[in-house]
A and B are shown apart, each in its own frame.
Chain A
Amino acid sequence: AQSVTQPDIHITVSEGASLELRCNYSYGATPYLFWYVQSPGQGLQLLLKYFSGDTLVQGIKGFEAEFKRSQSSFNLRKPSVHWSDAAEYFCAVDPNQAGTALIFGKGTTLSVSS
C-alpha cells in the first residue's frame, strides 16, 4: 500500500547533539518530498522540500535532508540541536507531483534535554 512512514514516534536528543529523523515512502515514482515542523498549538511550517536535482537539500533553521532513491527515504538532519527545536516533525509526499494532495506521515515528536 502507498504510505509515508516515520518509524520513530518520539525521540529525545541532548541539546547540542546531532539529530536525524527518518522518513520512508512507498510510491512507484519519486514523489515531491517535504518536511514540516509543528510547535505546540501552532500550524505547520515548511522546513524544506525536494522536487528534483541535488539530493541534499537545505532548509530553514539549520535543517537539511537527503533524498535516497534506492532506500525510498528522505531523512531530516541537524548537526546541533537547540532547545527551541523541540516540536513535532512531519514528513509529507505529493505522490502525483500535482499539488492536489499531500500525504503525511504520523509524525515524530522531538524532545530536547539539557
Chain B
Amino acid sequence: NAGVTQTPKFRILKIGQSMTLQCTQDMNHNYMYWYRQDPGMGLKLIYYSVGAGITDKGEVPNGYNVSRSTTEDFPLRLELAAPSQTSVYFCASSPSNEQYFGPGTRLTVT
C-alpha cells in the first residue's frame, strides 16, 4: 500500500490564483481530512469527510473548498490564493479514530 499520497510536494502561487491540492489513499478508509500546519501552531483542521459525498467544515475552512466523489480521493481547492494561505498542508485518512498522514504539500503564496 502507498498509504496517503499528496501532490504536488511544493507549489508557489501568486495572489489571486487558484489551485487544487490532490490527496489519494489506497487503504479504503471512509474518513479523510485536510489540515494546515503553521510554525509553532500545531495542525488546524480545514475540512473533513466521513465518506464519499459527505464533507464538513473544520476549524479553519474559509478560503478553501473540498469535494469527495470517491472513497480514494479528497482534493482541496483554493479559489483566490492569499498570503495567509502560505502553509504546509497535510491530508490524512482514517478507518475510524487513528489518522494516517500524507507527506504534505508546502504552499507559498506571494
CB within 8 Å of B: which residues of A?
A: 4, 9, 32, 34, 36, 42-46, 49, 51, 90, 94, 97, 99-102, 104-107
Contact = CB atoms under 8 A, between A and B. Distances in A.
Nearest to A9: B40
A100 B103 contact: no
Contacts of B58: 101
B41 A43 contact: no
Given A100-B31, A101-B48, A44 B101 contact: yes
A51 B50 CA distance: 20
A97 B103 contact: no
Given A9-B40, A43-B90, A101 B45 contact: yes
B50 A100 contact: yes
B3 to A, nearest CB: 9
Interface residues of B, number: 26
B42 A105 contact: yes
Nearest to A51: B97
Nearest to A107: B42
B99 A46 contact: yes
A43 B103 contact: yes
A107 B42 CA distance: 6
B56 interface: yes
Contacts of A107: 40, 42
A104 B96 CA distance: 17
A94 B101 contact: no
